[in-house]
Amino acid sequence: MNKNAQALFDLNGRVAIVTGGAKGIGRGIAQNLALTGAAVVIADVDETENAICQEMIEDADGKALAVTCDMADESAINNLVETALTRFGTLDIVVNNAAIYPMSPIAEMTTELWDQVLSVNLRGVFLLTRAAMPHLKAAGKHGRLINISSIDTWKSYVGMGHYDASKGGMEAFTRSCALELAEFGVTANVIAPGAVKTPGSLTVRGNLASERGEPNTEKVDAEFAARIPFGHWADEQDIGQATVLLATPASHYITGQTIYVDGGLKLTM
C-alpha cells in the first residue's frame, strides 16, 4: 500500500473519547481506534474493566487512558473532557457508545426507569457532545462525532420502548449536529449495529432462552443467525472497524448519515 492510501486510514496524532469503552462494542471501538494510531480515552462506570481495556491497548503498543465516568453525571462528563485535554492536549473524535437497556414492557415501566435510560442514552450524549463541540470545531477537518445507535430504531422489540426512544432521539440529534458542525469540516454520523454478541446482549438472549425453557442461548443464537444474510452474528471488532472508517480521513465527505452494520439483517425486516 502506498503512503497516500495509508494516510486515508491513519489516526496518528488524533485523540478519541469512547464512552462505554470498557467492554463489548465500546471495547472493540477503543481497540480499533488505538490500532489505527489514535490515543483513546476510555470512559466507563466499570473501573475494573476500564483498567483492563487500557492495559490491553497498551500491551498492543497503543495509547490509552481509562477514566471512570457516569454518563448520567454532568460534572463527570465535563471532567472527562478536561481530563482528555490535560493528558493529550486535543480532542478530535467523540464516540458516544454508552447505553443501558433494562427490559420492561411499557405498561409496567416506571417513570424512574424511563428517566434512567434516557438520562444515560440520550441526555448523556447531549452533555458530552456539547462539552466536546468547541474542541471538535477546533479540530476542523479531523473532527468526528460518531454515535452508536441500534437497528432497534428500524424495528422495535417488546420491552425496549425506553431504549428505542433514546436511540431514535440520538439519530435525530446527530443529524442536527451534522448541520451545526459542517461549516467547520467536522462530520457527525451514526452507526447502527445489528445483532452483536456482547456481554449485554448475552443477558437479553439468556432471558429469552429462559422464557423458552432452554438451558443456554445456543438455539436462540442459531435461530437469529439464520435471519442474517451473512449467516452469523457480529462481534465487537466488526463495529470497531466500522467506527474506524468514519473516524479516518477516508470518510471526510460523509455526514448526517446512519450506517447499519448488521450483515444485511435490516434487509430482511
The residues annotated with a catalytic role in the active site are 163
* Cα–Cα distance, 31 to 244 (Å, whole number): 10
Cell numbers linked to 4:
497516500
Per-residue DSSP letter, 182: G
The answer to whether the beta carbons of residues 37 and 14 sit under 8 Å apart is yes
Per-residue DSSP letter, 163: H
Sign for the pseudo-dihedral over CA of 203, 164, 48, 40: positive
Cell numbers linked to 54:
487500557
* Cα–Cα distance, 13 to 26 (Å, whole number): 21
The answer to whether the beta carbons of residues 21 and 144 sit under 8 Å apart is no
The answer to whether the beta carbons of residues 135 and 91 sit under 8 Å apart is yes
The answer to whether the beta carbons of residues 233 and 264 sit under 8 Å apart is no
| Strand partners for 96 | 147
Strands (DSSP E) contained in the chain are: 15-19, 39-44, 63-68, 93-96, 144-148, 187-193, 258-261
Q: Which of 184, 191, 138 is nearest to 14 (CA)?
A: 138
Q: How far is CA 132 from CA 29, 186, 257, in A?
A: 19, 12, 20
